[in-house]
Amino acid sequence: MVNKIYKFSEINMQVLEEIADFEQVRNREIFNDWFNFKFDINKYDEEFLLKLILANEYNIDFYLEFQLHFISPLLNKVYFYGKNYREWFHPEISGIVNGKILRGKSDFMVVSGDRKPKKPFFFLQEFKKQKTASDPMSQLIAQMSVAIEINKTNKMYGVYNIGRFWFFVVLEKITDNKYKYHESKAFDCLEFEHLKKIYTNLKAIKFHIQNEKF
């Protein structure tokens, strides 16, 4: 029997439910530790974040390549590089989830491996405009479920954005065909205090990867 193949770019919530049982958790307690990470943003960080807002606030919803103008500078500032991990843009990833083959490219991964991606730690899924028929959360969850299978673990972390709004996501594997996902409230990256939280949350991911707690 040939396993059915799903491409990440074609996945929406209806398709996701064909793959396995994905249940939304209707509370956000799982984010408490992550979002309470202690990180002191210095004046140089603040100046950088303010300039990022000022340079993009009137155009962010219309960019054809959001990464080039906003996401890449922010990720470069976080600096997802270390002895056991590095960042990758548009890497190929594939795996089997509940007997189905899932494959495609991720917009951004933090992953171990020097020449090619090995063990995924964190995902970012980018959508360039607010008005879109695509489903970034479902595609992100699909990629995270593949990462759980690759790592032989039961939890994965990610974030997706639509225009100016960022949403953090945690996926948990409960059984072979059952998962639970947690979605944060929206963070508006053009609001200074929100952008500081996004930056701090990304720094928290880096800290935990460095200490191999994820």
Please report the pLDDT score of residue 120 as a whole number: 94
How far is 14 from 145, CA to CA, in rounded Å? 16
Weakest-pLDDT range from 62-76, 104-118, 159-173, 200-214: 62-76
Which two three-digit tokens encode residue 179?
A: 């998962």
pLDDT interval class at 50 (50, 70, 90): very high
User: Is the pLDDT at 114 greater than 90, yes or no?
Assistant: no
pLDDT given for residue 67 in this prediction = 58
Contacts of residue 76, Cβ cutoff 8 Å, sequence gap at least 6: none
137 touches 130 (CB < 8 A) = no
Q: Is the pLDDT of residue 205 over 90?
A: yes
The full set of domain ranges for the chain reads 5-210
CA 179 vs. chain centroid, Å, equals 17
Give the pLDDT score at 7: 96
The tens digit of pLDDT for each residue in 172-188 reads 999 989 999 999 999 99
- The average pLDDT across 192-201 equals 98
Structure token digits, residue 83: 């002895």
